[in-house]
Each structure stands twice: as C-alpha cells, then as structure tokens.
Structure 1
Amino acid sequence: MNIRLQLFELEDQPWFPHVIRQGMLDFLRFMISKLGAYEEGLPLLQELLERTQQRHVTDLCSGASGGIEGIQKALSKRMGFPVHVTLSDLYPNIKSYEYLRAQSGGRIDFIPEPVDATAVPATVKGVRTIFSSFHHFPPKAAQAILQDAADKRAAIGIFEGASKTWPELLLLWLVFPFVILLVTPFIRPFKLSRLFFTYLVPLIPLGIIWDGTVSLLRIYTPDMLRKMAANVHAPNYTWRAGKAGTKPGKYVIYLIGYPEGS
C-alpha cells in the first residue's frame, strides 16, 4: 500500500466525546499489550539506548500509552537494568498515566504539562519515542518533529505497529468487530461506560474501525520516512527506516535517528 491519505481520525477531533475516545484508546492499549505488537522494535530501541548510553526513554504523543508497560519491562530485561519511561502528550491522559505509574512501581512516570512533539522543551531528556502516533501528523509537522530531535541532538525512534498492507485492512473490517466484542469485558481498569458504548450503543467499535482504517491509510511507508529524514538539516546525524517482523500482529514500520559519535 504505497499511498498515504491525510484523512481525519475521530479521536483527533476536539468535538469528539471524551468517553468514546477513551474507550477506543483503552482497547488499543489492551491489544498492543496482549499481542506484544512492538516486540520487533525492541532491538532498535535498545540500540538507541546503547548508542547514547542512556537508561531513560521519553515517550512523546503517548495518548493512552498503549503497550508501554510491556515495552518497559521487556526493554529492561534486554538491557539488564531498569529502564525508566516518562510519558508525555500535548493533551496528557493523566488518569491512564497515574494508573501505569502505580502498576510499574514508579518506573513509568509522566509529565503533567502539555508537551509539543514539534518543540520539546530542552529540559526533557532521554531517548525520544513515538508509538502508533506519528501518522497523525501531516508531513510538515512530522518533519518538524524530526528536525526538533536533530536540533537538540536527541535520539528518536518512530514506531508504527503495522505493515500497511491491504490484507491488514480486510482483517480490520472483517475480524476486528468480533474481537472488540470479545475482549472488552477484560480491559482494565473496568468501566461501565465502556460496556455501555460497546454493547448497547456501539460507538466505541464504530470509532475503532473508522480510526483504524484511517490510521492505515495515513501511516508513512519506510520510503516516505527516508525522504522525510533526508530533508532534516542536521550535521552528523544518522537516520534508518524500514520494516521489522515476520508474523501477523508483529509488523513494525520504524524510523530511528541518532547523533553520530553518541
């Protein structure tokens, strides 16, 4: 699928009801965690930490922080020491972040103030990551995210949990509606509103299918990411893009960048 369409996602709209948006994000977080969707991206993230000799990851555009708890645990195991993760977002999801901080014993924390990924404050340190969110940005803003990381000599990893193929789109349309109905009672923390807007008034499933479709159409291919990185003005900075994974549900499109000599 070598096309990219800048369509709109419901969760991005300011008028979209928060309770529905939260239910959609909770499902995404649950599925990413259960599938280990970013497992194939862990070696790349480990490489960034080793190259920069850091033990800290700052996650940008965290949303509901889908899968970050599993990523933090698996990455810590690979590295041989606890990796600290700080969550951030332009619209911080404080309740989800507090839940993860408690679950992780403080190894995952968060910045409560808004953080703009195109202009990250100099006080924010650590290897930068963006999981499942880079496709939200149109090319100009996406380029600004990369330029900001390069300007501040920060390593960055962009990860999208998909291969951007037509079979993935068919899977989303034909299988995911049943998956949503099956797994919703097991999503934590438990919320009655999630049950109501899944089974009685199915706005959460409809939102998931729409936004999932748009997300696949908006994801940048590795070639698109390479071209974007080539336009970043920064001396002695290395970029690498590609696809990782060989199994359904484990595909990852990635772009990593780091200052040379770090």
Structure 2
Amino acid sequence: MKFRLQLFEFEDLPWFPKVIRAGMMDYLRFTISLLRIYQPIVPLLREALVRTGQPHLLELCAGAGGGTEGVWRSLRAAGLPDVRVTLSDLYPQPAAWQLLHERTQGGISFAPAPVDATAVPTGLVGFRTVFSAFHHFPSAAAEAMLADAVRQNAGIGVFEGAGKHWYELLLAWLVLPVVQLLTTPFIRPFSLSRLFFTYIIPLIPLCTIWDGTVSLLRMYPPAQLLALARRADPEGQFQWQAGKVRNPLTRSEVTYLIGWPRVTEQTPAAARPRRGYLAT
C-alpha cells in the first residue's frame, strides 16, 4: 500500500476512556514484547548511539512501552552496557512503566508528566525513538516532530511494526483478535477492568481492531518518511535513511526512518559525539 489515509483512532481522542486506552496499550505492549517485533532494528539503533556518542534513549509516544525492554536488553548485549531509556507520552502510563522500571533495575525510567513529541522539553535529553506511533501524526505534526529533533540537535528513530501490506489487514481482523482473547489473562500488571472490557463488554478488542486497521492505513511508507525528513531538515543538518527490515522469527517487517546530526568542521565542539563514551 503506497497511499495513506488520515482516519481517526480511538486512542487519539481526548475523551476516550482511560481504562480502555490502558487496556489496549497493555495488550500491544504484551504482544510486541512476546513476538520481539522490534528486534531487527537493534543494529540501526546501536549504530546511531555509537555515532552520536549518546548513552540515553528518550522514547516519545511510548504508550505502555511495548518492546522497549527487549530492545534495551539487546543493546546492552550488543556492547552498550550503559544504555538507559526514558519513557514519555502525551498520555502517561505510569502503572505499566513502573513495572518496566522495576524489572530493569532502573535501566528504564519514565517522565511522569505529559510530553508533547512535537515540542520536547529541553530537559529531556537522549536519542529520540518513536515505536508504533508515528502514524498517529498528520504530515504537518510529523514534520514538526522531526524538526524539533533537528532544532535540538537530537538524533531520532521512527519505527513502525509493519510493512504496510494488504495481508497485514487480514491479520488485524482475523488473527490478532484471537490472540488478544487468548493472552489477556496473562498480561501484567493484572487488571479486573481489562478482563471486564475484553470478555464481558468487549470494547478493548473492538477498539483494537479498528485502531489496528487505521494504523496500517495511516502509516508512512519509506519514501514519504524521507520526504518528511527533508522538509523538516531543509539545510541537511542530519543524515537520514529509511527503509524496511524483516524479523526472521515472525517474517514481519519493520518500517523505519532514522537520522542523526552530521559532524562538520562547523559543528560546535559541545555538540560533537564524545568518542569512547559508549563501549563499541
């Protein structure tokens, strides 16, 4: 699918019940982590962190933090033992984030206040990542997010856990709802409301099916991602690349855009990578 439709998703609506949004986010976190959806992008992130000398990931639009722990552990195993992650979102999920914080002994922390990904507070530093969320932003807001990273000289990686294929719509309609019904009792932290709105009044699975379908239709393919990056960075201050990588376990694809500041003779010394700051 090369086209893009800007339809609405329930989880984007300010009035959408928090308990339903949290249930959807918990399911996505569980599934993404279980299937290790984002493992194929670990080499891309490792290269970006080494090139920028940045030991810290700032995850924007983190939702419930799906896949973050697996990526963090893989980066540590790949020779970056000091890497840390800060989770942030416009709609913070502190209950889910606290679980990750405890399991990683503080390797993953979080910003408890709402964070606008298009205007990140200067006090929140790190190489920015966006997992499974960039499609939520219409082109003007998506461009603003990238422009804010360029303006603050912060590298950024955008990752979507799909390749934008028609068969992925069938998975969203026929397979993933069954997986959701089978796995919900095993999702932690345990929640009676999640069980109620999954099995008694099934708002969580119904809204997940709708949002999953719309997510695929709203995704930016690689060519559009690069076009957004060029508009956000008209002076070419960043090095950008976009494409798709395949997960060998699930055969699914991850669509990505990643960029980091170019180092030139005019780059201020304070903004240059600190060589040796990360183990390579």
Pairwise TM-score range, normalised by the shorter structure:
over 0.9
1:258 aligns with 2:260: yes
Q: Deviations over 1:31-85 (max 9, x none)?
A: 0000000011111111110001121111111111111111111111112413100
Contact persistence 1:118–1:144 (CA under 8 A) = yes
Amino acid at match of 1:74: S
Unaligned runs of 5+ in 1: none
Amino acid at match of 1:28: L
- In 2, distance between residues paired with 1:180 and 1:112? 28
Contact persistence 1:244–1:253 (CA under 8 A) = yes
- In 2, distance between residues paired with 1:221 and 1:8? 19
Contact persistence 1:38–1:250 (CA under 8 A) = no
Q: How many residues align?
A: 262
Q: Counterpart in 1 of 2:219?
A: 219
Q: Counterpart in 1 of 2:155?
A: 155
Structure 1 residue 219: Cα displacement: 0.6
Say which SS state the counterpart of residue 207 (structure 1) adopts. Answer: helix
- In 2, distance between residues paired with 1:235 and 1:2? 26
Structure 1 residue 246: Cα displacement: 5.3
For 1:135-174, list aligned pairs within 5 A.
135-174=135-174
Amino acid at match of 1:10: F
Unaligned runs of 5+ in 2: 264-272, 274-280
Contact persistence 1:75–1:83 (CA under 8 A) = yes
Q: Deviations over 1:141-161 (max 9, x none)?
A: 000011111111111100000
Amino acid at match of 2:121: P
Aligned alpha-carbon RMSD (Å): 1.3
Q: In the superposition, relative to structure 1, how do residues 198 and 21 fare at CA in structure 2: closer, same or farther (>3 Å)? A: same
Contact persistence 1:35–1:250 (CA under 8 A) = no
Contact persistence 2:150–2:237 (CA under 8 A) = no
- Tell me the TM-score normalised to structure 2 length: 0.90
Amino acid at match of 2:184: T
- In 2, distance between residues paired with 1:176 and 1:221? 22
Amino acid at match of 2:156: I
Contact persistence 1:37–1:249 (CA under 8 A) = no
For 1:14-93, list aligned pairs within 5 A.
14-93=14-93
- In 1, distance between residues paired with 2:29 and 2:9? 17
